[in-house]
Amino acid sequence: MDTDNLKALALAATQGNWTVDKRSADCAYLNGPPRSYDECYFENAADAEFIAACREMVPELIAEVEESDRLLRASVPDRWKGCTSPVGAVQSYIAELEAEVERLRADAERYAFIRSGRIYIEPADGEIYVATDSGTYCKNDEEFDGEIDAAIEKEKA
């Protein structure tokens, strides 16, 4: 939303009070300072009411949008604060958090599986080795996680 352009339009408009002189359901005049604008005739009185209300409401809406933008930008990590769209920044941050939650869930499941005693850890040569019922030994994190994941899937089947 181009709040700068809307703000400039609102500041340039004549200050209120703008009122509507409703002559009938389908005839109205817009009145405002410094005089009555009888030449501002509206065949639909709702149009005149909307225009009169906008003088006060548009600045309020701009302020709300700017405050929401400020709060959204304040809620995301620094690397996302340069995004053009604060909503896009928050969505990107949420996607990162969701991915991290999934990684943590997998780690928690692995940890619970290790704690169950079905896999045990033997420290040797400064490395972590995992002995499974199939006799497989793992020397790195990926192998370790892979063996645990395979054992978990085997148990679930």
Which tens digits make up the pLDDT trace of 32-90?
A: 766 555 556 677 777 878 888 888 888 899 999 889 888 877 777 776 666 667 677 77
From the number of C-beta atoms within 10 Å of its C-beta (0-12, 13-18, 19+), residue 95 rates as: exposed
Residue 105 lies in a domain: no
For residue 100, pLDDT beyond 90: yes
With a pLDDT cut of 70, the percent of the chain lying above it is: 68
Q: Is residue 32 part of a domain?
A: yes
Are the beta carbons of 77 and 69 closer than 8 angstroms? no
Token pair 């009185």 is at which residue?
45
Per-residue confidence (pLDDT) for residue 21, from 0 to 100: 75
- To which residue do tokens 């085997």 refer? 154
> What confidence score (pLDDT) does residue 18 get?
78
**Closest by CA position to 37, among listed 46, 26, 28:** 28
What the block records as the tokens of 150 is 């395979």
Q: Which domain holds residue 19?
A: 1-74
Say if CB 52 and CB 30 are below 8 A apart. Answer: yes
The two structure tokens encoding residue 57? 């409401």
Cα–Cα distance measured from residue 119 to residue 132, given in angstroms and rounded to the nearest whole number? 6
Does residue 156 lie in a domain region?
no
In a domain, 43, yes or no: yes
Q: Given this model, what pLDDT does residue 5 score? A: 86
Q: Per the structure, how many domains does the chain have?
A: 1
Give Cβ neighbours of residue 68 (< 8 Å, ≥ 6 apart).
86
Show the tokens assigned to 126. Answer: 């400064």
The reply to whether 82 falls in a domain is no
Question: pTM (2 decimals)?
Answer: 0.47
Q: Within a domain: residue 109?
A: no
Judged against a pLDDT cut of 90, whether residue 104 lies above it is answered with yes
Contact status, residue 54 vs residue 62, Cβ threshold 8 Å: no
Task: Name which residue leads in pLDDT, 142 or 82.
Answer: 142
Task: Look at residue 105 in the predicted model and tell me its pLDDT.
Answer: 95
